[in-house]
Structure 1
Amino acid sequence: MQTALDHLRQDPVLANLIAITEAPKPAHAHDDIPEHDRLYVALLESIVSQQISTKAADAIFRRFRMLFSQTAEAEGYPSPKQLSEATVEDLRTAGLSFQKIKYMHSVAEFALTNSLDFDYVQSLDDEAIIAYLTPIKGVGRWTVEMLLMFVLDRPDVFPVDDLVIRQKMIRAYDLTETGRPLIRRLHDIAQPWQPHRTLACRYLWRWKP
């Protein structure tokens, strides 16, 4: 951590931001889930959380897990086979939309025919993981980048499509560009942060201008 901070502080804007911002907490997500299933469960949770508040997503995901509490092969969540066989009607009772049910079934189908084993996916580089997982319906680049940062603990992820990251960087660096020129400028600013862009982004998320 200290080596990463020393590197990031070479950017004077980021150095000032780090100085006034509480340090991010450890990024490991789903420590309560067996390692080999963490990506699978994280993908399901990411789909549930799309376009709704964290509080609503937590409630729906809790109800979703409860649907399988008596029969789940793993504690508290369904195996891919169980999820693929769950009916739309049953899943709707957890508060899931028809579209999200379609996406969750897509995760289950992917897991039945491809490996979501933590060690296997961890063996791939970042771009290979993005290419591997984005064929799943409802899973885009941003979703995989969040998995890279918070589940796989990859140190050099820059989710330029994240609206909050864009807004914070525009504010911190007094940017006036829009559209493609803005994206190029954001990449230019973040390039010197390598290989610690994940930590820089976590500070940007926590920073309160």
Structure 2
Amino acid sequence: MTSDALAHLQTDPVLAQIIAETPLIKPAASFIDVPEADRLYLALLESIVSQQISVKAADAIFRRFRMLFSETAEAEGYPSPAQLLLKTTDELRSAGLSFQKIKYLQSVAEFALANPLTIAHVSEMTDEEVVQYLLPIKGVGRWTVEMLLMFVLDRPDVFPVDDLVVRQKIVRAYDLTETGRPLYKRLQEIAAPWRPYRTLACRYFWRWKPLAS
């Protein structure tokens, strides 16, 4: 977090008030125990495991998934793409994965065998180029890639308009009444002045706890 970023965001009086009343904790780096070349790949696996379930359940399932690739029962390893594809459906199901998520994880592995899937490879791409690069993976949508851009690739100007929490918080903060496409247009208009620090703005909205009306 830089003083320049905060000063820029605080030119929006609504956001300035939210910043003033919201403590912000820097998120922990993802997979610091994993070589950088594997972090994007592993983050994609984790993002698929965590889809549509609670954080607690996702953490437990992903831990059991990683244990399938460990030399000891207590350790948490992680598979190479080839190792993942060698696991049977029954073995992967034993970690608590649904059939659909197994297919999605296998899609990540297949993509990684056919295409570079490293932070270094995507580092020169624009945010939108990263989105388009990863969208062919089954189970990976725009929101998933935007979370990777924000928390794995540390991109500073991502605005995940499809994120329900961000959307609801902005609607609340700015007393918006639009719905559907007009709402999405209005959200983009509100966020435009936050460039090039929209990632930081969204982190404040995620942590902001509005007072009950």
> Which residue type is aligned with residue 149 of structure 2?
L
Paired position in structure 1 for 2:204: 203
Q: Distance in 2 between matches of 1:172 and 1:107?
A: 38
Q: What TM-score, normalized by structure 1, do the two folds share?
A: 0.96
Q: Distance in 1 between matches of 2:119 and 2:152?
A: 9
Paired position in structure 1 for 2:125: 124
Further displaced range: 22-31 or 99-108: 22-31
Paired position in structure 2 for 1:101: 102
Deviations 1:107-126 (A, max 9, x none): 00000000012111112110
Q: What TM-score, normalized by structure 2, do the two folds share?
A: 0.95
SS in 1 for 2:59: helix
Q: Distance in 2 between matches of 1:123 and 1:87?
A: 36
Q: Any unmatched runs of 5+ in structure 1?
A: none
Deviations 1:75-111 (A, max 9, x none): 7100000001111110000000000000000000000
On the 8 A contact 1:64/1:91 being kept in 2, the answer is: yes
Paired position in structure 2 for 1:187: 188
Deviations 1:20-60 (A, max 9, x none): 00123146322221100000000000000000000000000
Please state how far the C-alpha of 1:64 moved relative to its aligned partner. 0.3
Q: What is the aligned residue count?
A: 206
> Which residue type is aligned with residue 151 of structure 1?
V
Q: Distance in 2 between matches of 1:23 and 1:61?
A: 27
Q: Distance in 2 between matches of 1:27 and 1:69?
A: 24
Paired position in structure 2 for 1:152: 153
> Which residue type is aligned with residue 111 of structure 1?
A
Further displaced range: 62-71 or 120-129: 62-71
SS in 2 for 1:130: helix
Task: Give the share of equivalent positions with the same residue, in percent.
Answer: 72
Paired position in structure 2 for 1:60: 61
On the 8 A contact 1:28/1:153 being kept in 2, the answer is: no
Deviations 1:124-169 (A, max 9, x none): 1100000000100000000000000000000000000000001000
Q: Distance in 1 between matches of 2:102 and 2:200?
A: 33
Name segments (4+ residues, structure 1) moved above 6 Å.
none
SS in 1 for 2:137: coil
SS in 2 for 1:152: coil
Q: Distance in 2 between matches of 1:31 and 1:173?
A: 37
Q: Any unmatched runs of 5+ in structure 2?
A: none
